[in-house]
Structure 1
Amino acid sequence: MAKAAKSSFVCQSCGAISSRWAGKCGSCGEWNTIVEEVSAPPPPGSGLAKASKGRALSLESLAGAPEEAPRLLIGMPELDRVTGGGLVPGSVLLISGEPGIGKSTLLLQLAAALARKGRRAIYFSGEEAAAQVRLRASRLGLADAPVALASETSLTNILATLGEEKKIDLVVVDSIQTLWTDALEAAPGSVSQVRAATQSLVRYAKQAGCALLLVGHVTKDGQIAGPKAVEHVVDTVLSFEGDRGHTYRILRATKNRFGATDEIGVFEMAGAGLREVANPSELFLGERDATTPGTAVFAGMEGTRPILVEIQALVAQSGLGTPRRAVVGWEQSRLSMLIAVLEARCGVSFAQHDVYLNVAGGLRIVEPAADLAAAAALLSSLANHALDPQQIHFGEISLSGAVRASPHMGLRLKEAAKLGFTDAVIPAAGDLSADGAKIGLQRISHLKELAEGLLPCD
């Protein structure tokens, strides 16, 4: 007698499986995310007892020259930078981002760029009709690109279509959450459907040797929706970020088996689609008011690319018992630590002041080297004294108040000199490259030196 289908309750946020329904997931703590899913019984004769014996594998040593993976150059320098030099045939990339951020636009431009170079590119849209995709392509000036297009959500039909093609270089699926297979009695977007669709498409990409691009939805906290197994089986995970109040977009690689994970690509959303930004520093400093107290220029690094960005601070008298602390584009805990160091090591009190910190342009900074620039902006606002508009700051601040060296100091100074900056406040420790830029250096070893310069004693 055939076994009946088994029922389980799966969290649609983290993929945890439980034996009964609950309002709150015990694994991730999310509410109302547990859904009942029915798994089909295994086919007859699929038990382990009747499994084949298998074959022995030939083992190899670690010695030998590594082979460089072949690349498909996209022709878009920002995308080539993030992917590590182009797409690797047989690789699988997952790109995520908030709704409306420009994921479909970016992938359509990517597919068109490859198709115009004689590559075979197929675009499957599960969220839009083919007419809608053609309308976007016409608006972007890509209607003449030989991209094969289909609007389909059935995984079986997509695999059957791909099986009839002889040579495919790129397959785009927008998005993985819309696919479904009739082999599973679960709704599209559920954990089991997303996992099955991803594994089937990954298997095809590896066998056919084509690059596969999957679009993934994100949850309300910015994480990729669906099971974490999806992120594990793909080769590259890209995050498309941006602020809807600004026109820039940043593409980051959070996982890359064929390249670095600290590179970024910068784009600007325009009427004709996403435009690559070759010099992001000019974009983030374009509307800078250098005469206002509380602004400091930070020379940061995103991978191997130096980026200059303005950090703005506002320190104002507080009428509340507990002063407010607000930060945009930086870590809240990092601001709290910096204020504590200024009070404990430099004698600068913020107990009666509200503190607001903002990274101009909507860029989000995670680099510790931004500590010195943030401290300079806070002290400048507190003293109501504008900093030198031709000066940059970078350096990590420890709990003792010491200013620690930052990596790639020479590259930061070269970028600053190229943009017309003439002075830099940097850590006393750390060696500069021999071909460093011609720029005046003010090297400090402790945060107190910066505080004394901006807040002189009476």
Structure 2
Amino acid sequence: MPKTKKKYVCQECGAVSHRWQGQCGDCGAWNSLVEEVGETVFSAKHDLSTGGRTIALSKLDADVTPPPRLTTGIAELDRVLGGGLVPGSAILLGGDPGIGKSTLLLQASAHMARQGRDIVYISGEEAADQVRLRGQRLGLGDAPIRLAAATSVRDILATLQERENTAMVVIDSIQTMHSDRIEGAPGTVSQVRASAHELIRYAKESGTAIILVGHVTKDGSIAGPRVLEHMVDTVASFEGERSHQYRILRAIKNRFGATDEIGVFAMEGAGLTEVANPSSLFLSERDANVPGAVVFPALEGTRPVLVEIQALTVKLASGATPRRAVVGWDSGRLAMILAVLEARCGLNFATSEVYLNIGGGYRISDPAADIAVAAALISALADRPVPDASIFFGEIALSGEVRPVAHGNIRLREAAKLGFDRAIAPAQKDVPNGISVQNVVTLANLVDHILTSN
């Protein structure tokens, strides 16, 4: 008789353990291990080298045509997807609750349905009437979208297989789906993995693009097993703060396009609207004569976005412990910049509290922001504004050397288009008209430039 082997699966990260324990050994979550039915263990070994069928092998240099694209009618969404939806592709869209995932997909579904395409919207969290009321509130009530409220993957697949030429299917959300072939409640690791596998297999066999909406954990990562992100073709994250108007759709993985591409939206009464020029959004109502305020040309995929970096230093009484607070940037990198400024330039931040903020709630991971952050800190410490109509970018080494960064000409063109006429950065080639570059070789050059500028 074969015996069944017990296993315990972490509901946070998907790690498997063969005995229960209070804390997951991989992610550290408490009380997250749930017993699931394991595989059947046989005493005899099986030989996999026989009994299979031969597979066809092809050459790498064989002719292949680019996959066709289905435009969604929303240019910012098409940009993130690499030009539109690829038939048969699977897309995972994650984001915080209430950020606008369902609104974005409902608007995209309406645009495509009005173009004559067959669009199916399956909601596992809301009734069909609730989705219909939202569509009417957004002015999409006349769109011929096929709606349903269901959570059974078997029922959903049976319904979809009766339809032909379906262009796109939206599943909102994958954590609510349930497969009767797997034991466990909806949302568990095994249910999410099995449900996604069946839906993705349908997409590949039928040529229908499928979009899976995913919940996120408290730290912002997509809930469920990590293998879910490996199964799909594209992973996109919808980001933003509820207190801010804008939303950013960011591509994390894309088998059919560039990664790190972004689309910018603004949440308004009529739903999400596209922001064609995000730089103007993040620099609106900016006062250029404030110490500690510096403009940095960030690069997201192929799109340059000008954002404001704000710094503030506050003198402390002797003996107090200075505080370092960062919003929108890496706190470890701020500590490195402060250390280089003290060691290589002789500036003293040990007796000051330091606060750093990226304007508009934007988040930056570009290392080219080093020079802009350093300039904001120097300006705040000296209480001197940086030169007007200037941008700053470049990477700082621990030696105090300023190193070049990629795509400097793209950053310069965007700055010149918005009226900036000076860039403080490493030496650049192919400088566009309308903007000049002041070369800085070391961090000491940057300090001299800010302290001696008018």
TM-score category (smaller protein) = over 0.9
- CA drift of 1:423 comes to 1.5
- CA drift of 1:40 comes to 8.7
Report the 3-state secondary structure (helix = DSSP H, G, I; strand = E; otherwise coil) of the residue aligned with 2:399. coil
Per-residue CA deviations over 1:213-238 (Å, capped at 9, x if unaligned) read: 00111111111111111111100000
Per-residue CA deviations over 1:249-297 (Å, capped at 9, x if unaligned) read: 1111111000000211001111111110000000000121222111000
Report the 3-state secondary structure (helix = DSSP H, G, I; strand = E; otherwise coil) of the residue aligned with 2:166. coil
Decide whether aligned partners of structure 1 residues 181 and 64 sit closer, same or farther in structure 2, where only a CA change above 3 A counts: closer
- CA drift of 1:63 comes to 1.8
Residue number in structure 1 paired with 2:434: 438
Out of 164, 169, 173, the position equivalent to 1:166 is 164
CA distance in 2, matches of 1:281, 1:390: 14
Residue number in structure 2 paired with 1:278: 276
Q: Where does the alignment leave 5 or more consecutive residues of structure 1 unmatched?
A: none
CA distance in 2, matches of 1:209, 1:299: 40
CA distance in 1, matches of 2:48, 2:363: 55
CA distance in 2, matches of 1:12, 1:85: 35
- CA drift of 1:438 comes to 1.6
Matches within 5 A, 1:329-344: 329-344=328-343
- CA drift of 1:193 comes to 0.5
Residue number in structure 2 paired with 1:186: 184
Residue number in structure 2 paired with 1:420: 419
1:263 aligns with 2:261: yes
For 1:333, the aligned partner's letter is G
- CA drift of 1:41 comes to 7.0
Per-residue CA deviations over 1:8-42 (Å, capped at 9, x if unaligned) read: 31110111222222110112211111112235979
Decide whether aligned partners of structure 1 residues 164 and 41 sit closer, same or farther in structure 2, where only a CA change above 3 A counts: farther
CA distance in 1, matches of 2:89, 2:380: 50
Residue number in structure 2 paired with 1:352: 351
Report the 3-state secondary structure (helix = DSSP H, G, I; strand = E; otherwise coil) of the residue aligned with 1:22. coil
Q: Where does the alignment leave 5 or more consecutive residues of structure 2 unmatched?
A: none
CA distance in 1, matches of 2:349, 2:430: 35
Report the 3-state secondary structure (helix = DSSP H, G, I; strand = E; otherwise coil) of the residue aligned with 2:332. helix
CA distance in 1, matches of 2:32, 2:201: 29
CA distance in 2, matches of 1:437, 1:306: 17
Comparing 205-214 and 391-400, the one that deviates more: 391-400
Out of 433, 448, 451, the position equivalent to 1:452 is 448
Normalising by structure 2, we get a TM-score of 0.95
Residue number in structure 1 paired with 2:53: 55
For 1:404, the aligned partner's letter is R
Per-residue CA deviations over 1:50-77 (Å, capped at 9, x if unaligned) read: 9992321222111233321111111211
For the Cα contact (< 8 Å) 2:240–2:246, is it kept in 1? Answer: yes
Out of 132, 142, 145, the position equivalent to 1:144 is 142
Matches within 5 A, 1:62-77: 62-77=60-75
CA distance in 2, matches of 1:205, 1:212: 6
Residue number in structure 1 paired with 2:203: 205
Aligned pairs, number: 449
Comparing 239-248 and 352-361, the one that deviates more: 239-248
Matches within 5 A, 1:360-375: 360-375=359-374
For the Cα contact (< 8 Å) 2:391–2:423, is it kept in 1? Answer: yes
Comparing 318-327 and 221-230, the one that deviates more: 318-327
- CA drift of 1:388 comes to 2.3
Residue number in structure 2 paired with 1:242: 240
Per-residue CA deviations over 1:296-351 (Å, capped at 9, x if unaligned) read: 00112111111111000001102363211111001001100100110111111101
Report the 3-state secondary structure (helix = DSSP H, G, I; strand = E; otherwise coil) of the residue aligned with 1:169. strand
Comparing 273-282 and 63-72, the one that deviates more: 63-72
1:324 aligns with 2:323: yes
CA distance in 1, matches of 2:76, 2:110: 15
Residue number in structure 1 paired with 2:80: 82
CA distance in 2, matches of 1:410, 1:17: 48
Normalising by structure 1, we get a TM-score of 0.94
Per-residue CA deviations over 1:95-151 (Å, capped at 9, x if unaligned) read: 101111111111111111111111111000001111111111011111111110000
For 1:444, the aligned partner's letter is V
Decide whether aligned partners of structure 1 residues 64 and 52 sit closer, same or farther in structure 2, where only a CA change above 3 A counts: closer
For the Cα contact (< 8 Å) 1:413–1:437, is it kept in 2? Answer: no
Matches within 5 A, 1:378-393: 378-393=377-392
CA distance in 2, matches of 1:168, 1:228: 29
Decide whether aligned partners of structure 1 residues 60 and 51 sit closer, same or farther in structure 2, where only a CA change above 3 A counts: closer
Identity %: 59
Residue number in structure 2 paired with 1:291: 289
